[in-house]
Amino acid sequence: MNIKILHLDSNNPILMQQLQELGFENHEDFTSSKETIESKIQDYHGIVIRSRFKIDKTFLDKATNLQFIARVGAGLESIDCDYALSKNIELIAAPEGNRNAVAEHTLGMILSLFNNLNRADREIRSGHWNRENNRGHELDGKTIGIIGYGNMGKWFAKKLRGFDVEVLCYDIKENVGDANAKQVSLAELQLKTDVLSLHLPWTPETDKMVNSAYINAFAKPFWIINTSRGKNIVTTDLVTALQSGKILGAGLDVLEYEKLSFETLFQDKNTPGAFQYLLVADNVLLSPHIAGWTFESHERLAQVIVDKIKVLYSR
């Protein structure tokens, strides 16, 4: 086997180690520009990437010997999938690798928001002991609505089994509901939901999906958690709903202002007013796109990629 793989991002060492043991030839380039990578990509049969840059038509046209693209993560939105598939390039992702981490992070955000944990912590550190102002809510008795019932949504529903809650899910695919969540129409989910959790890819259909009209279609005020993609929510409309009380609180692991690489955030003199509001709101919990970013998932993601490449070349 003389399959040459170019690694474009650093990953857990087991990925490269195990591929080498399987007989693959590994090369790495974590710093060169996209143009420099394009000048040599014809020499490689596979690439392993996280989210460093977009794999577009120009890149794919120069990758004349490419057999697979492996993304060490769940989504493939940074890849022109249709064009890659038209060139018979296999696409590999690893949603199984970080679904447990995302599910636990989602649950943690809900419990923290419900019990004002971050605000209470800040107040005590500032010398304030406010019990009544930090009276919390209990998850039991609530209805949880999950939008997107794939790997992430299903694993989050599993984490809810220890709570006395009703779990509903909505997905564009039919018959994906299971013992942990009842699949319903979007209208029914919007009628009953107390806590909404997004587990969606970023596609033309989901881009800016959660806007004012979408939010106002919910019958009750609700909490919202987003551990999927930031651009699925219109931040200005989210802020309007937070200010009006339509949304009771928000846990955001992802933000509309993130770069495509997910490694940086839009943060300069022109910081949007909506983002400034999120930074100071007591009922908003923010984290830097780390829901799937655990020590365990770091290794598991790499292992899933190795296993799938191995299967690809054993057919």
Domains of the chain (ranges, CATH numbers):
4-93 (3.40.50.720), 99-286 (3.40.50.720)
CB 314 within 8 A of CB 3: no
Structure tokens at 99: 């679904």
Is 258 tagged catalytic?
Answer: yes
In this prediction, residue 1 carries a pLDDT of: 63
First to last CA, the chain: 14
pLDDT score of 268 more than 70: no
Per-residue confidence band for 263, with pLDDT thresholds at 50, 70 and 90: low
Torsion, Cα 278 100 293 267, to 10 degrees, reads -20
The catalytic residue among 50, 99, 119, 289 is 289
Overall average pLDDT of the 231-250 stretch: 97
Is 7 tagged catalytic?
Answer: no
Per-residue confidence band for 170, with pLDDT thresholds at 50, 70 and 90: very high
- Using alpha carbons, select from 223, 217, 167 the residue that is nearest to residue 191: 217
- Using alpha carbons, select from 196, 140, 193 the residue that is nearest to residue 163: 140
72's CB contacts (< 8 A; 6+ apart) are 9, 11, 15, 48, 49, 50, 94, 97, 301, 302, 305
- Using alpha carbons, select from 152, 150, 151, 177 the residue that is nearest to residue 166: 177
d(CA 314, CA 149): 30
The catalytic residue among 258, 263, 299, 315 is 258
Is 229 tagged catalytic?
Answer: yes
In this prediction, residue 264 carries a pLDDT of: 66
- Using alpha carbons, select from 235, 229, 279, 285 the residue that is nearest to residue 254: 229
d(CA 94, CA 191): 34
pTM for this entry: 0.92
d(CA 301, CA 120): 35
Q: CA neighbours within 13 Å on the CB side: how many for 256?
A: 22
Per-residue confidence band for 242, with pLDDT thresholds at 50, 70 and 90: very high
State the alpha helices, DSSP H only, in 245-312: 273-280, 295-312
Mean pLDDT, the chain, integer:
94
Q: How many CB atoms lie within 10 A of CB 22?
A: 14
Q: Computed from CA positions of residues 180, 186, 190, 196, in that sequence, does the dihedral angle turn out positive or negative? A: positive
Tens of pLDDT, residue by residue over 49-80, are: 988 888 999 999 999 999 999 999 888 888 99
The catalytic residue among 229, 298, 300, 315 is 229
